[in-house]
Amino acid sequence: MCSIGWLPSADWFTVRRKIKEGKEKWCSQLKHQYSVAANMSSGGEFVEGWLVAQVLGEGSYGEVRLLVHSRSGANVALKAVQGDVGAREAGLHRALRHPNVLRCLGERRHNGMHYLFLEYAQGGELFDRIEPDVGMGETAARQYWRQLIAGLQYLHTRGVAHRDIKPENLLLDNAQTLKISDFGMATLFRVGTRERLMTRVCGTEPYAAPEVLSAAKKGYRAQPADLWAAALVLLAMLAGELPWERASREETRFVAWCTWIEQNGTCPSGPWRKLTPGALNLLRKTLNSDPDRRPTLDMLQRHHWLNEQQDDIDSKDRESERAWSSQPCAAGEQLSDTDMDELLSYSQPAHTDDLLLEAADGTQSTQGSGPGALLQRLVRRMTRVFVRCNEQEALRTLADALSTRGYTYRHLQPKLMAIECGEVKMRAWAVRVCGSGGDGGGVMVEFRRSRGCGLAFKRRYKELREALRSIAIPQPVTPYEDLLAPVTPRDCRMETA
């Protein structure tokens, strides 16, 4: 054993005791995190009365899970964030109240983890409505962008910069109300009348303004940077593609765009030629490389394109509405104060209950108000395929298609795969669903993005959907899934693709 000669013996024993105490504390935290991971991955209870259900989203922080109240059927989203990062995000997010900002309903801290309880937006992510290389109808894009601008204007009046606006961070509820979400990169840029410059390079590169990418050399103002990202969201909605990988002088497509703004001439090729004159005019004003020359949000709200009225939706909008005909219904739409008190007051997550696991496995009746009755119409998502075979055969067919295309995959468990298609990472989950109106349902293979650009993910999904065409069947009438069906074994820790 090494000795530390300069420490008196009494101090050395103190050090050893502190090390032992620290090790025990670390082991306790690790055990807690393992327990929470196991419960959250098995359809268990987060706290008494609140059941952990399906994965809603993934990111560098981990997963966002759906929590369902076993008695009332109320639901919230649960996001777990480490330490100080979670404290800062929760403190900022809880102060925000606006129809176009996802609500933070509360928070809990336990063993270095921050649990954020968020409003559940059942319509899914905005990027799920964008068809790659096509986009969506102009009427729908205008409706969503109006709401995005309204939400951003509220944030900026509160002195909050979001700093990661993109379709993946914009959610929709059942009424098609857009909700700005994920405040992990958000910060205060103004307190009172004092405004500070941003100096951090952050956000998602294709949506980042040029001044953000060069922040190491010079600070930038927060509002024009958020507006730049919002403009690229609009372009993605209208054209189904992004104009460049990075807004820098090394990117030829970005240089061509800047040249056209400064010198007029011929409109550059690419997504710009898919736009109507009004939309192109708005984006030309907004996507100016000089942040001081970009319009303010007030000016944009008066732009003629944003205020056009159309009584009838165009064909692309009608097709989109048909594609989304499977409306999700809430397992319980009213979240009472008592329900929330249960989430916020318990000292630690509960242990998984065996009866609950039996219900999740379908061994208990689905009638009545017990956990087994918690079936919910599928959350709106276009990245799924219904097939006529069982779950294992569906994933075998998918695995063959992946191998043929040179994509890599691994089985996280018998019905769950992690897939890598270049820079895009996703998960494929095979699950049995039931239908209404006499429809027996079937098996659904759902693809969910883990990493990478949402539009690139949709392109890979379309490729894999085509590969499954030989076993595909029409979507059942009003498909339902069991929210509590376990995705990973109760003794398996969550893995990230």
Neighbour tally for 341: CB within 10 Å: 11
Q: Is 19 exposed, middle or buried (0-12, 13-18, 19+ CB in 10 A)?
A: exposed
Between the CA of residue 71 and those of 9, 107, 375, 484, what are the distances in Å?
A: 59, 21, 13, 14
CA gap 243, 253 in Å, rounded: 7
Coil vs helix vs strand at 486: coil
Residue that the structure tokens 């008592």 belong to: 338
Nearest to 484 by CA among 403, 374, 408: 374
CA gap 297, 147 in Å, rounded: 12
Coil vs helix vs strand at 190: strand
Nearest to 247 by CA among 238, 239, 256: 256
Sequence ranges of the binding site for ATP: 79
Per-residue burial over 315-340, b if 16 or more Cβ lie within 10 Å, else e, is ebbeebeeebebebebbbeebeeebb
CA gap 150, 383 in Å, rounded: 29
What count of residues does the chain have? Answer: 497
Confirm whether 164 is a catalytic residue: yes
- Residues 6+ away with beta carbon under 8 Å from 61: 79, 80, 81, 82, 85, 184
Name the active-site residue from 128, 164, 317, 482. 164
Whether 104 and 98 have beta carbons less than 8 Å apart is answered as no
CA gap 336, 184 in Å, rounded: 27
DSSP string, 456-468: HHHHHHHHHHHHT
Rg (CA), the chain: 25
Tell me the helices (H) and strands (E) count for the chain, helix number first: 13, 20
Nearest to 456 by CA among 427, 425, 424: 424
Between the CA of residue 231 and those of 54, 113, 139, 280, 385, what are the distances in Å?
A: 32, 35, 16, 11, 32
Between the CA of residue 261 and those of 250, 283, 372, what are the distances in Å?
A: 17, 10, 59
Q: How far is CA 256 from the centre of its chain?
A: 32
Q: Which residues are catalytic?
A: 164
